[in-house]
Amino acid sequence: MWEKSKTLLKIMVLTFCLSLSLPWLSSAADMITTSEAGPRTTIVMSTEQWTTLKQELTEQTIELNQLRQKLKMLRSTSGEQIKLLESLQNDLSKTQENLMSANVSLTACRNELKESRASLQTLKNQIKTLKHKQTVTRRQRDVWAALCGLVLVASVR
């Protein structure tokens, strides 16, 4: 399942990079247009706004990958965290598609990014909680092992 997610992420990142490398044919540097089967939709935003959104999306993608690696390291079998991670991946994919096709307004993209940021924070908190639980469990196991050893030594004497 992780391999499929990795492959999907690689494809999306490659597509995103390729789409950014295409020269813009627009006469105005701050205009983004898209051609669809229906009427043409044009969203106007400054280059700074576009760059900010693009940078934030890239940062969230990187952070998502780091969190995925942390989940792998914890070897968490919890389906809830995996579902949340996949949900975040889908949200980021949708945000990227919407940003590239300019079907949503700049405000809607920001709202989606805020929601995604909140979800990433939730996942961070859950990972932190899992790490804490693992630490507590390991300590408890060590204490019980030491006690059993002491009892065994005491019973032999």
Q: Which residues make Cβ contacts (< 8 Å) with residue 130, sequence separation at least 6?
A: 74, 76, 78, 81
Calculate helix-pair angle for 79-101, 106-156, nearest 10 degrees. 160
Q: What is the pLDDT of residue 47?
A: 86
Looking at the structure of the chain, the number of domains it has is: 1
Establish if 146 belongs to a structural domain: yes
Establish if 26 belongs to a structural domain: no
Q: What is the pLDDT of residue 3?
A: 64
Q: Which residues make Cβ contacts (< 8 Å) with residue 57, sequence separation at least 6?
A: 92, 95, 96, 99, 113
Establish if 80 belongs to a structural domain: yes
Count CA atoms closer than 13 A to 12's CA, side-chain side.
21
Can you tell me the distance from the alpha carbon of 96 to that of 54, in angstroms, rounded to the nearest whole number? 9
Q: Which residues of the chain have pLDDT under 50?
A: 17-18, 21-36
Q: What is the pLDDT of residue 150?
A: 92
Going 49 to 104 to 54 to 47, the CA torsion angle's sign is: negative
**Which pTM does this prediction carry?**
0.40
Establish if 92 belongs to a structural domain: yes
Q: Where do we find the tokens 């969203």?
A: 43
Q: What is the pLDDT of residue 140?
A: 95
Can you tell me the distance from the alpha carbon of 43 to that of 154, in angstroms, rounded to the nearest whole number? 79
Establish if 137 belongs to a structural domain: yes
Q: What is the pLDDT of residue 125?
A: 93
DSSP 3-state of 32:
strand
Establish if 29 belongs to a structural domain: no
Can you tell me the distance from the alpha carbon of 19 to that of 58, in angstroms, rounded to the nearest whole number? 14
Q: Are strands 31-34 and 41-44 parallel, antiparallel or unpaired?
A: antiparallel
Q: What is the pLDDT of residue 89?
A: 85
Q: What is the pLDDT of residue 72?
A: 77
Establish if 97 belongs to a structural domain: yes
Question: For residue 63, what are the domain limits?
Answer: 57-157
Establish if 113 belongs to a structural domain: yes
